[in-house]
Structure formats: C-alpha cells, structure tokens
Amino acid sequence: MTRRNHRRAYAGAAGVLAGALALSACSGGTSPEGTTVEEGEPYTLTVWTNYTTGPGQNWFEEVAAQFEAEHENITVEAQHVQNEELDGKLQTALNSGDAPDVFLQRGGGKMKDMAAAGQLLDLTDTAVATPEMREKLGEASYEALSIDGQLLAAPQLIQPGGIWYSKDLFAEAGITELPETVEDLEDAIAKLQGAGITPIALGGKDAWPAAHWYYFFALRECSAETLEATNESLDFSDECYERAAQDVTDLAALEPFNEGFLTTSAQQGASSSAGLLANHKAAMELMGAWQPGVVMNLTPDQEPLDDLGWFPFPQVSSGEGDAAAIMGGQGGFSCSAAAPKELCGEFLALMNSEEHQEGFYEAFGTIPLHDDAKDVVTNEYDEQMLDALAEASYVSDFLDTNYGQQVGTALNQAVVELLTGGTDPAGFVSAVSDAAARS
C-alpha cells in the first residue's frame, strides 16, 4: 500500500482533530466544533504533509508564505513526513490529542474511522467549501470526502488509473489501435507475446497493483449503483463481483505478466514492475496517475520516458458498468478536532486556489483539480485524463480505500491468490465476504 499512497498522497486533504477524542468517541459521531483564533492573535498552524521531495516542499513554502503574509501573527509550521511513516505517526498523534491542525487525508475507510472517533472537523461552512470553490474543484470531489453531509476533508487532487504503455513496443508488435475492449486487449497481448515482448508488468509483491486489475474489472462489470451500495454494505453477493474475478482469472490464463510477478515489487528499482516499463522490458502497466513520475525515476538516465502513453481501462462485453466510469485515488487535507476551524478552512482554500493548483501540477505532475488551473496541462496523457474525467459518468476511489483497511487488505490478498490459481472466482468472493463479516 506504500508507494501508491505516496503518490496518492499528493492529494492531501486537510483534516482536523484534536483533543476531544475521548469525549467525542463516546458521543457517537457528533462533530467537534474546533476552536477560534481572534484576528491578530498569535497562532501557529501546524501542518503535516508527505511532501518529502524538493519541488513539493518549495510549493508548500510558497503557500505558507502567502498565508502568513495575509494573516497577521499567524505562523505556518509544516512537518513533511515520509509517506510510509505518516499514517502511523498521525494515528498516534490523533489518539493522544496532540494532532497537527491540518494533515493529509487519504479518505475512504480510514477517514471514516477518524470521523467516528470524533477526530475531524466538519469543514462544510468554511472558506474551502464555498459554492464557488465547490464549482471549481468539482462537486464529485467534495462528495468523495463527505460523510453524512459533513465535509471532512478539502479535496486537493484526483489521480485516475488506467493503462500506461510504451508506444515503441506497441509499434514493434504491430498494434495500431489502442484497446477499447477486453477482446482488443487480448489481441494486443497476443501480438506482444508473438513479438517476444512481455505484455504486462505487474508488481504482485505489493498486492495492490495486482488488485487494481480486479478493481477495474469490477468497475466495468458492476453498475455504479452496485458499487456505491457495496461501499456501505460490504455485500459482495451481486454476481458482477464474481464475474470480475472470472475476468482476472481469464486474463491470468493468457500469462501476460512478467516472470515472477508474485515477488516483483511495484516501484523499487529497475526490476520492479514500473522499472520494467521504464526500461522497455514490458509493454503495459495498470497504474494511477502518479506513474510518469515513478517511471521517470527508473529510466536509465532518470529522464521522463518519451514514448509513454495512456489509455482508459477497456470495457468488458458483459459489463453493467459504464465504459466512461473512472477509478482513481482521491485525497485532500483534513483539520483536526481542536484546530481553529475558520483559519483552517482559509488555509485549505488558499492551497486549492487556481494559482497554487497550477503550481501543484508543476511540482508534482499530477493533473489539477481546479477548473481554471487546467490550462497549464500540456502533455498528451494528462490531457487524455482530464478529458476522461470530464466525460466520466462515475468516479470511484480505489476499492481497497473505499472498503477500509481490513476488507481492503483481504481483498488485495485474495486477488493475488486468484492470480496464482490459489483460489477460484467463487472462493474469491467468499474470502472477501468472510473478511467483510469479520470487520
């Protein structure tokens, strides 16, 4: 789960929480009110992000400097925590009542748990949730970070997933049209195999890259209503879930993956799945929008991969889901329970302003959420993603995020079993259902 969150994390959300957790945990879901800082009163706003790269920190410094200039006596103090460390550190801080005012929020089940423990401020009435902001950043992004009408984090980014491919290798194998259906994809796989090219890179060791194949098949097989209902009920009895498992099994039967995919990691080193794509050792990888940056670090000269292309996940013939539905990581920043609510909202609004969303694209290379910032996007795949998002009939977060850690982890592991033939589609569904019953 590690690296992906790293990338996803660029989407932070400002959360809140703070002291009153013991009380609020017992009071069952009432939202904390936060605190107030009077105009001119000195205050240090603490912020935790995972921006450990240079450009990311510079971007944040600019936002912070502007905020300090606009607010008298307010200091912004950031801690940029290594991504894999962030969740644990944050959890401890939240539970001990010593949380930062603003922190990166990954959404999904974890956000639900924080909200249930009364650790997050409701940002509905703050500067980051004005009708104008909602329009510019997209209502759907706000909904993704709301529970029961309470806005628990301000959206910052979305990282849609899709298939990344090497244009050179596709040309070498004689593939002229990008696959739109699974049958097309199967043809492409056959052509690549015929040309002696490994069709798909897969980092099975990290489980989630393997699980992505299942998520996207489920996105195509299941209707948006079914997927939404399952997010709440964790009921996997709809047959579309078993069909999606069958799709994964069928795909695996073509043996399209790199040798030893089960013990291949996703993003570490040239032998990782992203490394295989970066070094033209494999033609495709199913990944989120963070992929170009990861691939860039793994090319021999650490330059962006010239022939990297993107296409949306293909449609399955039996699918009830729309071919235009999108899945991707969404995220933002939350404010903790004892944070100054108004100030917090203003900070998040500044972070998500047109100017800083543009800077965000330049610093992180992830497509901007803000409508007016979209004109900074120039490269082809980012434009494709923006188009796909604009036309999307439905946007889902990654399923493991939606289902929460426990079911999400079990789901990811079950997909690995499915890929290695350790279980069949029926066994897969019952394994996930068992985990759901236990959670």
Partner 1 sequence: MSTPEHVNLDVPAGRTATGDGARQAPSPAPGTNRRRPLPWRRWLEILLLAGPGTAVFVTFVILPVLMAGYYGFFRWSGYGPPTEFVGLRNYQLILTDTAFLEALWHNGFILVMSLVLQGPVAIAIALLLNRRMRGRSLIRVLIFVPYVLSEVIVAIGFSLMLHSAGAVNDVLDRAGLGGLRQDWLADPDVAIWSLMLILVWKYIGFAVILMLAGLQGVPDELREAAAIDGASYWKTQWYITLPLLGPTIRIWAFLSIIGSLQVFDLVYVIWGQYVADTAGTSTMATYMVANGRISGAYGYGSAVAVVIFLISLVVALVYQRYLLRRDTEGALTGGAA
CB nearer to partner 1: give 15 or 329.
15
Instruction: Please report how close the Cβ of residue 332 comes to partner 1 at its closest, in angstroms.
Output: 18
Size of the site for partner 1 (CB under 8 A): 42
Which one of residues 74, 78, 117, 175 is an interface residue with partner 1 (CB under 8 A)?
Answer: 117
Determine the interface stretch with partner 1 among 8-16, 32-40, 367-375, 399-407 (rule: CB under 8 A).
Answer: 399-407
Distances (CA, A) of 374 to 39, 59, 370: 34, 17, 7
What residues have CB less than 8 Å from 273, skipping those under 6 apart?
A: 201, 202, 203, 209, 258, 261, 264, 265, 266, 267, 282, 285
Which one of residues 53, 181, 231, 271 is an interface residue with partner 1 (CB under 8 A)?
Answer: 271
Regarding 104 and contact with partner 1 (CB under 8 A), the answer is no
Regarding 316 and contact with partner 1 (CB under 8 A), the answer is no
Instruction: Please report how close the Cβ of residue 397 comes to partner 1 at its closest, in angstroms.
Output: 16
Regarding 260 and contact with partner 1 (CB under 8 A), the answer is yes
Give the number of C-alpha atoms closer than 13 A to the C-alpha of residue 275, restricted to the C-beta side. 13
Regarding 118 and contact with partner 1 (CB under 8 A), the answer is yes
Separation of alpha carbons 391 and 393, rounded Å? 6
Regarding 301 and contact with partner 1 (CB under 8 A), the answer is no
Separation of alpha carbons 89 and 114, rounded Å? 14
The radius of gyration computed from the CA coordinates of the chain, to the nearest angstrom, equals 22
Instruction: Please report how close the Cβ of residue 420 comes to partner 1 at its closest, in angstroms.
Output: 6
Report CA dihedral (240, 241, 242, 243) to the nearest 10 degrees. Answer: 50
Which one of residues 95, 124, 193, 384 is an interface residue with partner 1 (CB under 8 A)?
Answer: 95
Distances (CA, A) of 109 to 115, 181, 395, 408, 437: 10, 32, 17, 9, 15
Instruction: Please report how close the Cβ of residue 88 comes to partner 1 at its closest, in angstroms.
Output: 8
Strand ranges, E, within 85-128: 102-103
Choose among 162, 164, 159, 166: nearest CA to 144.
159
Instruction: Please report how close the Cβ of residue 19 comes to partner 1 at its closest, in angstroms.
Output: 12
Place of tokens 């009432």: 30
Give the residues lining the site for partner 1 (CB under 8 A): 1, 21-22, 24-26, 91, 94-95, 109-110, 113-114, 116-119, 204-207, 258-260, 262-265, 271, 404-406, 409-410, 412-413, 416-417, 420, 422, 438-439
